[in-house]
């Protein structure tokens, strides 16, 4: 009785602290959001000029993060909406709508009047009602410098059959947030967690709301039991029984002024509907303790429903904090969670059938050669780490670390788990084609096939935003297919703006400076000779390709002008400026 009373008091104290923090964040964020509302209104006025629906074939979407990707409930299509892109200096927000036609492997852009404002880190869910509906809630808008945020609390529905957007205005919904999770389950949308951030403060949530798709009303749940701590970016999966599974996520807390500490959550909870079907459902939290091989701690992972009463987790990042920097280990592995067995296990490629036959024949030949003796198999291997190096356009060496989990040893396996054994078996298939390690990828499953679009990885202060598209059959788990390639080396990255004086130095260096031009006739002749020998632009060659191909030449030229005392970073910047100038005007 005493312990229960203490727990209740502790819970009420946490609720009061959370309420105070929410008010504090709300007050400070109000001014920021008022400033951004004017910018959002300006974008909406541009959208208002769209008066008719148009759908046209187009190139794939530009690289972006934190958009939504959903499978059409009735057609062989994927629907991509919104997102953001950061080029090192400026943040771009989107509210465009793309359709990926699976059978044709082609993209189409759909312009529909009165769309939701530009946003990222929102949530989307599809339901099969009336030819299909795409529901969108929340998300955020950021100022171009990425220092101010506006968090949405609006609810929208895209009627897929008629191609019309509709904003649903119903009272009593969640506060503005991003990084939350939303699923459609039994004629309702269920929303959990997320965060709200201003320039100086932040708050994470662990509240639960439902939106009834028949009555169009919001309800805030008050589940019994001890639930998850506040977090964002977690896994949220509905079960066939109408319950909800929560796994992992990320949150941070302020230790002292300007010092925050992040937490990677690895716990798992079940939100169970008790008395389902009655007039008012009662919900309760219980903590799950799954068996098997759990995913390594990470954030930025992606989740999707998988065949055979499973859900899957793909990719993510584990940040290792050092004294003055944060280095991330990125992943491209898949973990399955079997809902019925409450069990995690890593998935590995089986390889094409021809490769599997070769391996079987090889094992049979080895057994025969051993004279019927029992073949001694090597012990299960631990995680395998593969490190790849890619040289970027600006000369930065990107080190991509890939961790492949080893085959899991499980002593207590029944005959019913043979399928899982196959999936965990893996094998040496050389160097298979697969998505590079990444976090924040967009995933969707259609007809048992997983589609992975985009994501990002980091190299130092540089962020590479991807726009590639891969797929894998979750029934066969044989091999990844590349539907759309992207070369990370070609992506432009702008360093943070330096002082005006440094910029002037850069321009002076690129142009050679007045003193250098007048220093001697001999140097002028050398410069003319060098100019005549500039590497020519090849027919059809893109600017990024030209800069990468001729970088060493322009680096030598820039160094000769700027002298040995110039910083390497500045020399590289000037060299790229010279190369781009010559590309645009070879005369």
pLDDT digits (tens, 9 = 90+) for 260-271: 888 999 999 999
Of residues 524 and 180, the one with the higher pLDDT is: 180
Q: State the pLDDT at residue 554.
A: 77
Of residues 70 and 279, the one with the higher pLDDT is: 70
Average pLDDT over residues 412-438: 58
Residue 129 has pLDDT above 60, yes or no: yes
3-state secondary structure 252-273: EEEEECCEEEEEEEEEEEEEEE
* Model confidence pLDDT, tens digit, residues 225-272: 999 999 999 999 999 999 999 999 999 988 877 778 889 999 999 999
Q: Can you say whether the dihedral through the CA atoms of 523, 524, 529, 534 is positive or negative? A: positive
Of residues 420 and 191, the one with the higher pLDDT is: 191
Of residues 381 and 469, the one with the higher pLDDT is: 469
Q: State the pLDDT at residue 405.
A: 54
Average pLDDT over residues 124-150: 92
Query: Is 518 strand, coil or helix?
Result: helix
Can you give the pTM of this predicted structure? 0.71
Question: Measured at the alpha carbon of residue 451, what is the angle toward residues 445 and 453, in degrees to the nearest 5?
Answer: 130
Of residues 440 and 366, the one with the higher pLDDT is: 440
Average pLDDT over residues 573-582: 81
Q: State the pLDDT at residue 560.
A: 77
Of residues 507 and 91, the one with the higher pLDDT is: 91
> CA-to-CA distance for 345 and 40, rounded, in angstroms?
44
Residue 120 has pLDDT above 70, yes or no: yes
Q: Which of 108-117, 135-144, 517-526 has the lowest mean pLDDT?
A: 517-526
Q: What residues are paired with 397 via a beta bridge?
A: 391
pLDDT grade, residue 494 (50/70/90)? confident
Order of all β-strands in the sheet with 123-127: 123-127, 133-137, 155-159, 164-168
The one-character DSSP state at 299 is B
Order of all β-strands in the sheet with 218-220: 181-184, 188-197, 202-212, 218-220
Backbone dihedral angles phi then psi of residue 299, each to the nearest 5 degrees:
-125, 175
Contact of 501 with 546, CB cutoff 8 Å: no
Question: Measured at the alpha carbon of residue 115, what is the angle toward residues 22 and 84, in degrees to the nearest 5?
Answer: 60
pLDDT grade, residue 505 (50/70/90)? very low
pLDDT grade, residue 460 (50/70/90)? confident
Q: State the pLDDT at residue 53.
A: 94
> CA-to-CA distance for 30 and 198, rounded, in angstroms?
9
Q: Which parts of 1-145 are beta strand (E)? A: 54-58, 68-71, 77-86, 91-101, 106-111, 123-127, 133-137, 140-142
pLDDT grade, residue 19 (50/70/90)? low
Residue 39 has pLDDT above 50, yes or no: yes
Highest mean pLDDT among 50-64, 152-166, 266-280, 406-420: 152-166
Helix (H) or strand (E) holding 295: none
Q: What residues are paired with 398 via a beta bridge?
A: 390
> CA-to-CA distance for 587 and 585, rounded, in angstroms?
5
Q: State the pLDDT at residue 406.
A: 53
Residue 514 has pLDDT above 60, yes or no: no
> CA-to-CA distance for 395 and 558, rounded, in angstroms?
15
Q: State the pLDDT at residue 509.
A: 33
**Which residues, in sequence order, are CB contacts of 241 under 8 Å at separation 6+?**
273, 276
> CA-to-CA distance for 409 and 495, rounded, in angstroms?
47
Query: Is 248 strand, coil or helix?
Result: strand
Residue 357 has pLDDT above 80, yes or no: no
Percent of the chain with pLDDT over 70: 71
């Amino acid at each position: 009785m005493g312990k229960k009373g203490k727990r209740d008091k502790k819970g009420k104290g946490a609720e009061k602290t959370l309420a105070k923090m929410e008010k504090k964040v709300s007050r400070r964020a109000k001014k920021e959001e008022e400033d951004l509302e004017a910018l959002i209104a300006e974008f909406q006025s541009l959208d208002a000029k769209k008066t008719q629906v148009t759908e046209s074939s187009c190139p794939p979407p530009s690289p972006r993060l934190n958009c939504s990707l959903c499978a059409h409930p009735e057609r062989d299509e994927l629907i991509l909406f919104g997102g953001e892109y950061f080029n090192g200096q400026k943040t771009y927000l989107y509210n465009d709508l793309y359709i990926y036609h699976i059978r044709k492997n082609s993209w189409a852009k759909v312009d529909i009047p009165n769309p939701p404002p530009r946003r990222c880190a929102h949530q989307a869910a599809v339901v099969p009602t009336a030819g299909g509906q795409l529901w969108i809630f929340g998300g955020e808008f950021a100022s171009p410098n990425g220092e101010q945020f506006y968090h949405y609390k609006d609810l929208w529905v895209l009627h897929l059959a008629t191609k019309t957007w509709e904003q649903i205005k119903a009272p009593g919904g969640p506060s503005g947030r991003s990084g939350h999770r939303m699923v459609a389950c039994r004629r309702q949308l269920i929303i959990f967690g997320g965060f709200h951030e201003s320039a100086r403060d932040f708050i994470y949530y662990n509240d639960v709301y439902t939106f009834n798709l028949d009555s169009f009303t919001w309800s805030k749940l008050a589940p019994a039991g001890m639930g998850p701590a506040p977090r964002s970016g977690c896994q949220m999966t509905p079960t066939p029984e109408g319950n909800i599974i929560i796994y992992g996520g990320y949150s941070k807390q302020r230790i002292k002024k300007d010092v925050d500490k992040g937490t990677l959550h690895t716990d798992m909870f079940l939100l169970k509907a008790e008395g389902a079907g009655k007039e008012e459902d009662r919900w309760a939290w219980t903590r799950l303790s799954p068996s098997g091989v759990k995913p390594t701690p990470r954030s930025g992972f992606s989740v999707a429903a998988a065949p055979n009463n499973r859900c899957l987790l793909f990719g993510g990042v584990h940040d290792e904090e050092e004294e003055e920097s944060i280095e991330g280990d990125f992943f491209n592995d898949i973990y399955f969670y079997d809902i019925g067995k409450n069990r995690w296990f890593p998935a590995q490629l089986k390889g094409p059938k021809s490769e599997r036959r070769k391996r079987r024949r090889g094992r049979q030949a080895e057994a025969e050669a051993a004279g019927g003796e029992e073949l001694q198999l090597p012990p299960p291997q631990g995680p395998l780490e593969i490190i790849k190096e890619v040289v970027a356009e600006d000369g930065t060496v990107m080190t991509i670390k890939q961790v492949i989990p080893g085959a899991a040893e499980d002593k207590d396996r029944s005959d019913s788990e043979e399928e899982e054994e196959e999936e965990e078996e893996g094998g040496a298939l050389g160097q298979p084609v697969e998505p590079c390690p990444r976090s924040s990828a967009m995933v969707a499953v259609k007809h048992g096939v997983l589609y992975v679009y985009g994501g990002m990885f980091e190299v130092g202060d540089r962020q590479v935003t991807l726009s590639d598209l891969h797929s894998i059959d979750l029934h066969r788990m044989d091999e990844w297919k590349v539907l759309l390639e992207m070369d990370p080396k070609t992506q432009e990255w702008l360093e943070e703006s330096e002082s005006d004086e440094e910029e002037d130095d850069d321009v002076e260096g690129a142009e050679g400076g007045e003193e250098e031009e007048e220093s001697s006739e001999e140097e002028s002749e050398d410069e003319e000779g060098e100019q005549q020998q500039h590497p020519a632009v090849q027919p059809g060659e893109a600017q990024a390709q030209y800069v990468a191909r001729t970088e060493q030449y322009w680096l030598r030229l820039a160094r000769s002008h700027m002298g040995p005392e110039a910083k390497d970073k500045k020399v590289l910047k000037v060299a790229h400026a010279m190369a781009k100038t010559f590309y645009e005007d070879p005369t």
